[in-house]
Chain A
């Protein structure tokens, strides 16, 4: 934890996670390796025990997070073990140390002490190298290649091979992103095991036998990913077809040779060029540890970091490949002020002066609203929260640029804010049952899905999803589907009562009553009237713990920092005078505004109506708001608009003053995960750009107030001084479940959620990643399809009063009277085209013409 706290302070605002307690093994085993005695927990593999002694046994297929397979045979060692008679006897042949467990009294002799083991390893290496091409100079793995390194340490100095090597045409495009050089493959099966054991999605597998054995992609039918086909075409290969995986980049990272490479990093650099910085991914609320590699100010790749508490060694492809948005051509590098309708680059002093004058004028006339956006670091969100209260004197601040509700605000104040690390990844993997409500773990937080799936496969965890359909991710989690049309989740959750008539719901109640069970709710549930209240009631009824999993990286941190209309930092309710006094004292002001502020939608409506004279907007994408067209009108109408942005956006296009801020790679900061775990990260690149909290600090100074948030240390000191809230929490929401809506003929209820890879601006500048986006389709059940006259493979037009969308139709097994659409696919922008949220009734008509899929 790098958030420094002064020694006098109590618990910091977002305390760091405690170190996990060391695991005390139930039983241990004594053995010797190369004559050195060692005691290890029972079940430890010989290769790991040797690692503890500092003995490097060469290996390719062995990976700590994958099951042992002994496929490459590189780790052969000589093993002596006590036989039945108790006498030490040598195993007749060398044994693979990556697949053999330590046994009491075992004596292992590695290549360091045993000629036999050394000969065996040299022989295996020679065989592996027979068909390995000598193209290291053009191979991306060159310089960080386990095969290269271990051929040097454990192989022959010269080759005895004189014949022609096996050749394959190279490379095969497994997807637009993943390239496969089959002749480099040593058949260790790490990639195929990863896709089977960890990701569980259609990928590649071993095919053919003997010398012709190779990794390849089979037909779509065999791998069964109908409906999830990627958008981009993979190059034709004899047998290979495209695949759609959100985790394919991990296979590239764990490939011990250069057989799998990514198009994004192909031929870009060498490891000795790169400067590596540990960091945290900015695309979801998981806080995945990553490593950012850059050369001369240009980020060339990102790799998964190793954090056993959070993401283990895996990240999603979005976290791995989507980083070029931060250096896109439309980056804003200088402050700008609008003059005669045009944005003109100006000095910081002039821009801050203009912004300060405009905001002061608006404050005199009425009030100012603040929309920080949901992707900020904790420090930046805190600066927004303080700026709004201290400088602008308002509680009209809301970071939620998505469908939200008063109920959600109350829920966050009651159950989320100030309650960090109550449910963590560790609790999830220890839970017997996890219920997902309004949450798609694979789409909204890839690592969450991987962590759950690991335990599901181990048989320790069962998953229930309350949704309109079992998504592919839910199916791979072997989740039990409790069908619920969008908008009826509250009703369904209220029906989960032990002993109730529906055996399914009673069973769920029973499973949730088991100690350790967890209910995870997503941000989508906020659009369901009574949904979050029902989830709270369910948690109370069953004793299961309840956690909120937002989609964006900054949302949890923003809740803690107090960028909500009813919350001050640390979960202090605005309505509580004691809480206000505490914060006012910490901030050195006389008093804080006591009236509850307005949520995003209301702020925009008032900005349009003129009651709010100016807006300070952070990283808000207008297309993410529930009704983008109305939001645009409001931004056009508002008297004065200040935008703090990284890149040109629809907000900066309308802003009167644009202040450039640094993207995550160019500033240090802290993301807070859905668990409430602070994830501090350092600055990767040298830059002239500054973080939001520094910009707000300067703006406050220009307006005559001192925020004292000019440096990261200052923010951390203040967070430490402020600490958490020990007073009463705000009241729980108690919104009754709404009655089910009537669905007229030729209509259906809209179900929709964001896919991991879509048209989001965070994925800009990544053509290879864009090619792995899943194909857009509207999904309906067979009964709904026949009611609406839709056919599988045909097309449908979905219409609201606002507009329409035409998409191909896919008939799947799901709730009736519901149509599912991806929220923000490039060819299906639900909010832009329909201005609809989940649960809205939309008109659906079959389209005569075939839509180009």
Chain B
């Protein structure tokens, strides 16, 4: 285009061409199909040719899933129920910032934060989530919350079996949502790794609980099962939450009813 806008009607090559008048039906040539015609044999079997598809599938592997008899296979990025993750030393990643609750279009999340103290440090930094609830009666599993989470504390699992006979059973609390301990972790509360800040945690520079942290836990909670570091101990240190355990029971019962072995 030139700097000066030109008069469209004055220069036909630059402007929109004037619409042509459509031809009348009488002027049009008769219709001719572009698909070549069938032979005589094909024309004869044409009415039952469709059965061939069904017949052919009898010899192919089945895609029907035997859910609930067998566990369902969902895609890895399926948006299932939430999980609150932990740093490698066992401290919680959640800082109680409520951004998930803010982002939630269904108002399904309720968070209350509190101060970490030297005696009770649950997450790196000053603040942790004291109360964390997700109401699965409201949650639409859209995943806005996990996008909003600034510390990757909140992620979604592939578990979608969230149904039960009571409303209360679908309000999951913090202990139901928190991930279990894995190797190298200690049950919080315990102090942060010595000489680190919350930023070091976010950068992934903390790789596991240190001896100083273990000593602290030993001093304050000598019976903590996570101290021995065995898988049994780690499992015993963080018992499954009541609501989650109830849901697991309901799900297992439904599976059995569905014929699961």
Contact = CB atoms under 8 A, between A and B. Distances in A.
A269 B150 CA distance: 17
Contact of B96 (A143, A171, A267, A272): A267
A267 B102 contact: no
Contacts of B98: 269-270, 272-273
Interface stretch (B70-78, B108-116, B178-186): B108-116
Nearest to A171: B126
Interface centre among A138, A171, A268, A273 (most CB of B within 10 A): A138
A137 B127 CA distance: 10
Contact of B102 (A138, A143, A266): A143
A310 B112 CA distance: 35
Contacts of A593: none
Nearest to A170: B126
Contact of A266 (B97, B115, B125): B115
B84 interface: no
Contact of A267 (B99, B101, B127, B151): B127
B171 interface: no
A142 B97 contact: yes
Given A143-B102, A267-B127, A270-B102, A137 B115 contact: no
A138 B115 contact: no
A142 B126 CA distance: 15
B200 to A, nearest CB: 13
Contact of B97 (A137, A171, A273): A137
B99 A138 contact: no
A293 to B, nearest CB: 14
Given A138-B95, A171-B126, A273-B98, 16 more contacts: A137-B150, A138-B97, A138-B126, A138-B127, A143-B102, A266-B115, A267-B96, A267-B126, A268-B112, A268-B113, A269-B112, A269-B113, A270-B98, A272-B101, A272-B102, A273-B101
Interface in B82-126: 95-99, 101-102, 112-115, 125-126
A267 B115 contact: yes
A142 B98 CA distance: 10
A189 to B, nearest CB: 26
A169 to B, nearest CB: 10
A269 B114 CA distance: 9
Contacts of B95: 137-138
Nearest to A165: B199
13 contacts: A137-B95, A138-B113, A138-B125, A142-B97, A170-B126, A267-B113, A267-B114, A268-B112, A269-B112, A270-B101, A270-B102, A272-B98, A272-B102
Contacts of A137: 95, 97, 99, 150-151
Please give me the 5 A-B residue pairs with the lowest Cβ-Cβ distance, nearest first: A137-B97, A267-B113, A138-B127, A137-B150, A270-B98
Residue among B96, B97, B102, B151 with the highest chain A CB neighbour number at 10 A:
B97
Nearest to B107: A272
Nearest to A133: B199
A116 B119 CA distance: 53
A138 B126 CA distance: 8
Contacts of B125: 138
B151 to A, nearest CB: 8
A535 to B, nearest CB: 51
A266 B112 CA distance: 11
Nearest to A266: B115
A170 B96 CA distance: 18
Contacts of B127: 138, 267
Interface in A228-278: 266-270, 272-273
Interface in A118-149: 137-138, 142-143
Interface residues of B, number: 16
A590 B125 CA distance: 72
Contacts of A138: 95-97, 113, 125-127
A437 B209 CA distance: 67
Contacts of B151: 137
Nearest to B95: A138
Contacts of A267: 96, 113-115, 126-127
A269 B98 CA distance: 8
Interface string B131-151: 000000000000000000011
A137 B99 CA distance: 7
Interface in A138-165: 138, 142-143
A143 B98 CA distance: 10
Contacts of A272: 98, 101-102
A248 B52 CA distance: 85
Interface string A709-742: 0000000000000000000000000000000000
Most A CB contacts (10 A, CB to CB) among B96, B101, B127 go to: B127
A143 B99 CA distance: 10
Nearest to B102: A272
Nearest to B98: A270
Contacts of B126: 138, 170-171, 267
A8 B55 CA distance: 94
B109 to A, nearest CB: 11
Nearest to B97: A137
B241 to A, nearest CB: 22
Contacts of B150: 137
Contacts of A266: 115
Nearest to B127: A138
Nearest to B197: A167
Contacts of B113: 138, 267-269
A748 B102 CA distance: 63
Interface string B142-177: 000000001100000000000000000000000000
Contacts of B99: 137
Contacts of A170: 126
Nearest to A273: B98
A272 B102 CA distance: 7
Nearest to B113: A267
Contacts of B102: 143, 270, 272
Interface in A155-186: 170-171
Contacts of B112: 268-269
Contacts of A270: 98, 101-102
A228 to B, nearest CB: 29
A170 B127 CA distance: 13
Contacts of B96: 138, 267
A250 B259 CA distance: 67
A142 B150 CA distance: 13
Contacts of A171: 126
Contacts of B97: 137-138, 142
A666 B96 CA distance: 29
A138 B113 CA distance: 9
Nearest to A167: B197
B13 to A, nearest CB: 38
Nearest to B116: A267
A562 B112 CA distance: 47
Nearest to A298: B112
A170 B115 CA distance: 13
A138 B115 CA distance: 10
B102 to A, nearest CB: 6
A137 B112 CA distance: 13
A412 B113 CA distance: 50
A132 to B, nearest CB: 15
Contacts of A269: 98, 112-113
A142 B115 CA distance: 16
Nearest to B148: A137
A137 B199 CA distance: 13
A273 B115 CA distance: 18
A196 to B, nearest CB: 30
Contacts of A273: 98, 101
A514 B155 CA distance: 73
Question: B95, B96, B101, B112: which has the most chain A beta carbons within 10 Å?
Answer: B112
A258 to B, nearest CB: 12
A266 B116 CA distance: 11
A420 to B, nearest CB: 44
A421 B151 CA distance: 57
B103 to A, nearest CB: 11
B84 to A, nearest CB: 15
